[in-house]
Structure 1
Amino acid sequence: MKLILPIEVADEIKPHLPSDITFVRADVDGNIDGDATDAEVYFSWLYYIKPTTLQKVLDAAPKLRWHQATNAGVNNILTPQYLAREILLTNGAGLHAIPMAEFVIAYILSYAKNFTKLRELQAQKSWQRGFRNEELLDKTLLIIGAGGIGQEIAKRAQAFGLNIYGSRRNPQPLPNFDKIVGANEWKPLLSEAHYVVIATPLTNETKGMIDEEVFSLMRPDAYLINIARGAIVDEPALIKALQTGQIAGAALDTVFTEPLPPESQLWTQPNIFITPHCSGHSPKTRERAIALFIDNFTRYYNGQPLRNVVDKNAGY
């Protein structure tokens, strides 16, 4: 059996492979350092897989049967060409959950404690007091997408005394949540939510779903946080909501076009915090990604069920 491994970690994985396994290496652009025509397994690394990269690998590996991705979201992978092939896809659900959850808590605290204003005052050498500074106790957090990442967010938020609501496809009760509703039942909760976190996959159903209607239902003191995919938010509607005071502010770790173009109005909104799609970054993510692949490969090699199998029809 032959594998296509990321050039970044192939040598680390090699000692964990059975003696009858061979591999070739692929880089970020999909260039492969050998013959992949008989490759059965593809392990893609911790970067956003460009369509050109994916297509290059698909063309080079006509016998590909299983693809282990390190992304949690796989909307960029499920191209028509990919879906035309019978490839088992497993994703990186769980690999990024802890650093992303920590980022969400940081966004919430930064807004609640008005860190932007405090940094401005420090730069001005101004000892000013009396501006907005809020507690989180008894505030309400709505997490749209109570999957692995959403659950890690709730676990950390619970310690601050927030009321925590969540939505998911299967709305059974979960630890650390006060209320769980179905995937299409979260809009009535917006009027209660001081913080709204988007942690749902990008699918045909979720694309553009945070729109003018949603902003009209939100509290004027609500703060939106998007750590999922930029296309879930209607950006013109968001800019309008920020400019007209429909919501108080937003933190975006992901936007529709990445990198965010210099001319985008998002850069210049005073009540927005933009980070460069980095909330999932952590040195430990590398360790978790390698461990997940080795575990899943062992399962694949022995004919056992794999972890994190993606429902390609659902998109996650």
Structure 2
Amino acid sequence: MKLILPIEVADEIQPHLPKDTQIVRADVDGNIDGDATDAEVYFSWLYYIKPTTLQKVLDSAPKLRWHQATNAGVNNILTPQYLEREIILTNGAGLHAIPIAEFVLAYMLSYAKNFLKLHELQAQKSWQRSFRNEELLDKTLLIIGAGGIGQEIAKRAKAFGLKIFGSRRNPQPLPNFDKVVGANEWKALLGEAHYVVIATPLTKETKGLIDAEVFSLMRPDAYLINIARGAIVDEAELIKALQTGTIAGAALDTVFTEPLPPESPLWNQPNIFITPHCSGHSPQTKERAISLFLDNFTRYYSGKPMRNIVDKGAGY
């Protein structure tokens, strides 16, 4: 059996593979250092897979049967060409949940404690003490997408005394959530939420989900946090909501066009915190990704059910 492994970790993985396996290495652009025509397995690494990279790998490996991705979101992978092939896709759900959840709490604390203002005052050498400074205690958090990442967020937010609502396609009681509703019922909770976190996958149903109607239903003191995909938010309507005071602010770790162009008006909004799609970064993520791949490879090799199989029709 032949595997296509990322050049970054191929040498770490190879000693853990059965002796009857062979490997070729692929780089970030999809260039492969050998013959992949008989490759059966592809492990893509911790970067956003460009369509050109993916297509190059697909063209090089006509017998590919299983693809382990490290991304949780796979909207960029499910191209028409990819869907034409009978490839089992498993994703990296869970690999980034802890660092992303910590980032969400950092966004919330930064807003509640007005850290941006404090940094500004420090730069001005100003000993000013009269500025907004709130507690998270008894505030309400709505997590749109109570999957693995959403549950890690809730676990940490509960320790701060927040009331936590969540939504998911198949609602069920979950630890640390006070209420979990169906995928079409969360809008009724917007009027109660001080913090709204987007943690749902990007699919046909969720593209542009956060629109003018959603902003109109939110509290004027609400803070929006997006750690999912930029296309879930209508950016023009977000800017309008920020400029008119419809909502109080937003933190975006992901935007529609990445990198965010210098001319984007998002950069200039005073009540927005933009980070460069880095909330999932962590030294431990590499270890988790390799461990997940090796566990799934053992399952694949022995014909056992694998973890994190993507429903390509649903998009996650």
TM-score when normalising by structure 1: 1.00
What CA distance in whole angstroms lies between the structure 2 residues aligned with 1:50 and 1:276?
17
What CA distance in whole angstroms lies between the structure 2 residues aligned with 1:15 and 1:23?
11
Deviations 1:62-109, CA, capped at 9 Å, x for gaps: 000000000000000000000000000000000000000000000000
1:32: how far off? 0.2
The corresponding residue for 1:220 is 220
The corresponding residue for 1:83 is 83
What CA distance in whole angstroms lies between the structure 2 residues aligned with 1:52 and 1:173?
42
The corresponding residue for 1:229 is 229
1:130: how far off? 1.6
1:184: how far off? 1.1
What CA distance in whole angstroms lies between the structure 1 residues aligned with 2:136 and 2:46?
34
Structure 1 residue matching 2:121: 3-state secondary structure: helix
Structure 2 residue matching 1:104: 3-state secondary structure: helix
1:194: how far off? 0.2
The corresponding residue for 1:157 is 157
Which structure 2 residues correspond to residues 265-284 of structure 1 after superposition, within 5 A? 265-284=265-284
1:19 equivalent to 2:19? Answer yes
The corresponding residue for 1:250 is 250
1:167 equivalent to 2:167? Answer yes
What CA distance in whole angstroms lies between the structure 1 residues aligned with 2:229 and 2:172?
25
The corresponding residue for 1:128 is 128
What CA distance in whole angstroms lies between the structure 2 residues aligned with 1:152 and 1:170?
18
The corresponding residue for 1:211 is 211
Which structure 2 residues correspond to residues 99-118 of structure 1 after superposition, within 5 A? 99-118=99-118
The corresponding residue for 2:307 is 307
1:129: how far off? 0.9
The corresponding residue for 1:48 is 48
The corresponding residue for 2:296 is 296
1:139: how far off? 0.3
Paired residues, what number?
316
Task: Kindly provide the amino acid, as one letter, of the partner of residue 158 in structure 2.
Answer: Q
1:161: how far off? 0.3
Structure 1 residue matching 2:18: 3-state secondary structure: coil
The corresponding residue for 1:36 is 36
Task: Kindly provide the amino acid, as one letter, of the partner of residue 9 in structure 2.
Answer: V
Task: Kindly provide the amino acid, as one letter, of the partner of residue 249 in structure 1.
Answer: G
1:285: how far off? 0.1
Deviations 1:235-292, CA, capped at 9 Å, x for gaps: 0000000000000000000000000000000000000000000000000000000000
1:170: how far off? 1.0
Deviations 1:5-57, CA, capped at 9 Å, x for gaps: 00000000011000000010000000000000000000000000000000000
Task: Kindly provide the amino acid, as one letter, of the partner of residue 238 in structure 1.
Answer: L
What CA distance in whole angstroms lies between the structure 1 residues aligned with 2:181 and 2:163?
14
The corresponding residue for 2:182 is 182
Structure 1 residue matching 2:159: 3-state secondary structure: helix
Structure 2 residue matching 1:13: 3-state secondary structure: helix
What CA distance in whole angstroms lies between the structure 2 residues aligned with 1:14 and 1:26?
14
What CA distance in whole angstroms lies between the structure 2 residues aligned with 1:137 and 1:98?
22
What CA distance in whole angstroms lies between the structure 1 residues aligned with 2:78 and 2:243?
35
Which structure 2 residues correspond to residues 67-82 of structure 1 after superposition, within 5 A? 67-82=67-82
What CA distance in whole angstroms lies between the structure 2 residues aligned with 1:150 and 1:258?
23
User: CA RMSD, aligned part only?
Assistant: 0.3
Task: Kindly provide the amino acid, as one letter, of the partner of residue 287 in structure 1.
Answer: E
The corresponding residue for 2:58 is 58
Structure 1 residue matching 2:267: 3-state secondary structure: helix
Task: Kindly provide the amino acid, as one letter, of the partner of residue 309 in structure 1.
Answer: I
1:233: how far off? 0.1
The corresponding residue for 1:140 is 140
Deviations 1:105-164, CA, capped at 9 Å, x for gaps: 000000000001111111111110121000111100000000000000000000000000
TM-score when normalising by structure 2: 1.00
Structure 2 residue matching 1:160: 3-state secondary structure: coil
Structure 2 residue matching 1:70: 3-state secondary structure: coil
Task: Kindly provide the amino acid, as one letter, of the partner of residue 25 in structure 1.
Answer: R
1:312: how far off? 0.3
The corresponding residue for 1:6 is 6
